[in-house]
Amino acid sequence: MRMDRRQGLLLLIVWVLWLAGCASGVPSGGPLSREGAAGAVPPEIARLNEHLGQLAERLRPGLVQVRVRRAQAPASEGAEPSPPDEPRAASGSGFLIREDGLLVTNAHVVADATRIQVRLQDGRRFEGKLIGKDSRVDLALVKIEGVHGLPVLQLGDSNRLRVGEFVLALGHPFGLEQTVSFGIVSRKGAPLRVATPGFDFIQTDASVNPGNSGGPLVNMAGEVVGVNSMAARNGSIGFAIPSNVVKSLLPQLIEKGKIEWGWLGVGIDEVSDDDLSKLGLKEARGVLIRRVMPGEPADKAGLKPNDVVLAVDGARVEGPRDLQRIIAAAPVGQVVKLTIVRQRQETDVPVTVGLYQEPTARQESPARPRPTP
């Protein structure tokens, strides 16, 4: 009798527990999730997070979206051209540099645009007027009217930027609004565009995608150190026009609407070790002139193939990019003194800098220019 009572009590307890489980609906394994306890973030990381957040919030008001409409889409390689009456819309990025609505973007963003519309962070839209552009460096100035007191971004000193420094890339990629990506400066050197006149571009691993073109690349002080211009096809690396180049070109873009680049009219190459004995050189430096274009400034000055340029107005020339940069930045019509080696003899040749003429080049995509290796 006592054993039956114990068995009955045990069955009663099991039955009560089963009912409680059914009523609660909670699996026997315990709660579905756990609330995370507020862990301690290392002070250095916390300060960096706070700084990045404040920086992005401060910079965004100066960022704009640039929308353009073209009369006809340019045909790409292997594709049929679009019908002449088919409009094309595209968008890029830009940033304000003056409170009255002057902004910087890329030349390929506004190329052949029949209409430019600028959208501010607060949602206001304005018609934009193209003030000037240069396709060689891929830089353009646009102005919106009827505004004042707009937030602007400050241009910093890109020469002080070091490889490995943190940077932010701001823009409107894929039509998304006000995005910020974080990375480092990967490299400072030759850009992907061969036509660029010897200036070092800033390479970064901060994500730069279609639509980021024309947006600012910013250092940790909140200064614009570059203008995002192009990227690899997968967006893994981007290239930006250095802010010091932008500052040097702004006066001409505002005054003339274009950049007048210096020009010699020569085909050039590096001096290799194999050229030393043949040309009578002591070291592999300078620029070897491969050809001289008839009727151009170099031809008029008497330069010849196999001349080696060692200096321009006393400034030492290490390689082709040095000569490109010096001549491109020289005022058109200015006489420069080239120190050359010809037939093992060093001599000075005065050359009047000519005007570079933009060749009829293949038009690039407005979303992102195609990199040229």
Catalytic annotation, pick one of 138, 200, 205, 322: 138
Question: How are the residues of the chain apportioned to helix, strand and coil, as percentages rounded to the nearest 5?
Answer: 25, 30, 45
Q: What are phi and psi of 119, to 5 degrees?
A: -110, 125
Which residue is listed with tokens 């051209």?
81
Q: Which of 91, 93, 108, 322 is catalytic?
A: 108
Cα 308-310-314 angle, rounded to 5 deg: 145
Is the separation of the CB atoms in 182 and 206 below 8 Å? yes
| Residue 339 host element (H or E) | strand 335-342
Name the catalytic one among 207, 213, 229, 243.
213
**And the tokens for 31?**
């709660």
CA dihedral over 140, 336, 298, 284, signed as positive or negative: negative
DSSP track, 2-65: HHHHHHHHHHHHHHHHHHHHHHH---TT--S--PPP-PPPPHHHHHHHHHHHHHHHHHGGGEEE
State how far the Cα of 330 lies from the Cα of 49, in Å rounded to an integer: 45
The gap from C-alpha 329 to its chain's centroid, in whole angstroms, comes to 21
Side-chain-side CA neighbours of 281 within 13 Å: the count stands at 23
Q: Among the residues of 302-368, which ranges form H helices?
A: 320-329
CA distance linking residue 327 with residue 354, whole number of Å: 9
Per the annotation, the verdict on 138 as an active-site residue is: yes
Per-residue tokens: 236: 């893994």
Place of tokens 């300078």: 286
**Which stretches of the chain are DSSP H helices?**
2-24, 43-59, 107-110, 243-256, 275-279, 297-301, 320-329
Question: Which residues are tagged catalytic?
Answer: 108, 138, 213
